[in-house]
């Protein structure tokens, strides 16, 4: 598979701040690649390095096989969709989408045709004459996408593009974006701090912390086989078991991870103190103290629910304990 974007030992330091620190990435052509991590972990800086708004302080970046040192943004075959995607309120939708082409000096008929095609791609054909104020939030977001697609980039960089939308609309747009990416077949690099968003949309996820990539893998690998406690902890509140605990169970002294939904009440097993019980609608979350280790258990609807303060026994299947680094 050809690489769309490749980082080799890329760093971007601002004085003492290591915004991006010796990062290696290899994103395949046509891949939906998510960069996931907490605020300040270096995701936006990585996108800006790809887009050409920043230059690395060390390392090499290749885009579609070309080293891009010093290549200006408009010659990189990539385009960016920002979270704050401000549209021009006084321009209609078509002219908003065609704006970049106008600046690039394209003729009116050419750019309007391109804008209408881009609007078709995001299912907004026929909306070209409307003003942005006459659109819903989700439709405005799609105009921003069309604006980024209008010059047919080979890769689209999306920086928390759904962050401003409410939950329901965000989930709808997640599905639409995924379908769009499959249909267009172009490479998406999608930045988010939302674990479920990254896991549900991406072919592969890179988990960032402190300017470094901690783990890269499929959503399943990231979710079920975290390689470090940070990943287990960040990606959907897995229970991280300390090495001593894991050593007693398996003989291997390494951190372990057990998904909350894999933990259940058992006649025998580990004695646990029930701390809090929270009804979540589809499940009930129970936080526990298991011999000094905090754990969370997710009980399905219909299960027996313990009370806070109670002492219970909990267990999990041996193969639900993932030993890190094993």
* 40 touches ligand ADP by CB under 6 A: yes
96 binds, among ligand ADP, Mg ion, none (CB under 5 to 8 A by kind): none
- Please identify which residue in the block is written with the tokens 């968003």: 197
* 39 touches ligand ADP by CB under 6 A: yes
* 192 touches Mg ion by CB under 5 A: no
Among 11, 44, 96, 195, binds Mg ion (CB under 5 A): 44
19 binds, among Mg ion, ligand ADP, none (CB under 5 to 8 A by kind): ligand ADP
Please state, as a whole number, how many other Cβ atoms lie within 10 Å of the Cβ of residue 188: 25
Among 5, 10, 19, 115, binds ligand ADP (CB under 6 A): 19
Distance of CA 221 to the CA centre of its chain: 14
Please state, in angstroms and rounded to a whole number, the distance separating the CA atoms of residues 306 and 1: 51
Q: How far is the CB of 50 from Mg ion (least distance, A)?
A: 13
DSSP annotation string for 3-15: EEEEEEEEEEEET
* 14 touches ligand ADP by CB under 6 A: yes
* 17 touches ligand ADP by CB under 6 A: yes
Please state, as a whole number, how many other Cβ atoms lie within 10 Å of the Cβ of residue 165: 18
* 37 touches ligand ADP by CB under 6 A: yes
Region at 74 (left for phi over 0; alpha for psi -120 to 50; beta for the rest):
alpha
Among 41, 80, 195, 238, binds ligand ADP (CB under 6 A): 41
Please state, as a whole number, how many other Cβ atoms lie within 10 Å of the Cβ of residue 246: 23
Q: How far is the CB of 177 from ligand ADP (least distance, A)?
A: 19
Beta carbons within 8 Å of 282's beta carbon, 6+ residues apart = 301
Give the binding site for ligand ADP (CB under 6 A). Answer: 14, 17, 19, 37, 39-45
């Amino acid at each position: 598979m050809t690489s769309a974007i490749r980082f080799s030992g890329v760093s971007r330091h601002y004085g003492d701040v290591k915004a991006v620190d010796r990062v290696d990435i290899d994103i395949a052509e046509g891949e939906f690649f998510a960069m996931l991590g907490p605020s300040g972990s270096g995701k936006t800086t990585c996108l800006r390095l790809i887009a050409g708004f920043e230059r690395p302080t060390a390392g090499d970046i290749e885009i579609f096989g070309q080293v891009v040192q010093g290549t200006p943004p408009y010659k990189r075959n990539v385009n960016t969709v920002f979270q704050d995607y401000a549209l021009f309120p006084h321009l209609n939708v078509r002219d908003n989408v065609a704006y970049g082409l106008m600046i690039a000096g394209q003729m009116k008929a050419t750019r309007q045709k391109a804008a209408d095609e881009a609007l078709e791609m995001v299912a907004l054909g026929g909306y070209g004459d409307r003003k942005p104020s006459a659109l819903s939030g989700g439709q405005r977001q799609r105009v921003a996408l069309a604006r980024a697609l209008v010059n047919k980039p080979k890769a689209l960089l999306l920086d928390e593009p759904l962050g401003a939308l409410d939950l329901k609309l965000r989930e709808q747009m997640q599905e639409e974006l995924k379908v769009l990416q499959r249909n267009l077949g172009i490479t998406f690099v999608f930045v988010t701090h939302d674990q479920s968003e990254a896991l549900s949309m991406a072919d592969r996820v890179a988990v960032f912390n402190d300017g470094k990539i901690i783990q890269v893998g499929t959503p399943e690998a990231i979710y079920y086989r975290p390689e470090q406690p940070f990943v287990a902890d960040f990606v959907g509140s897995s229970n991280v078991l300390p090495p001593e605990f894991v050593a007693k169970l398996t003989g291997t002294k390494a951190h372990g991870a057990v998904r909350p939904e894999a933990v259940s009440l058992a006649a025998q097993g580990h004695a646990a103190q029930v701390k809090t019980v929270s009804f979540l609608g589809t499940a009930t979350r129970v936080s526990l103290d298991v011999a000094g280790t905090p754990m969370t258990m997710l009980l399905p609807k219909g299960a027996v629910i313990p009370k806070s303060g109670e002492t219970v026994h909990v267990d999990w299947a041996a193969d639900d304990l993932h030993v890190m680094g094993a």
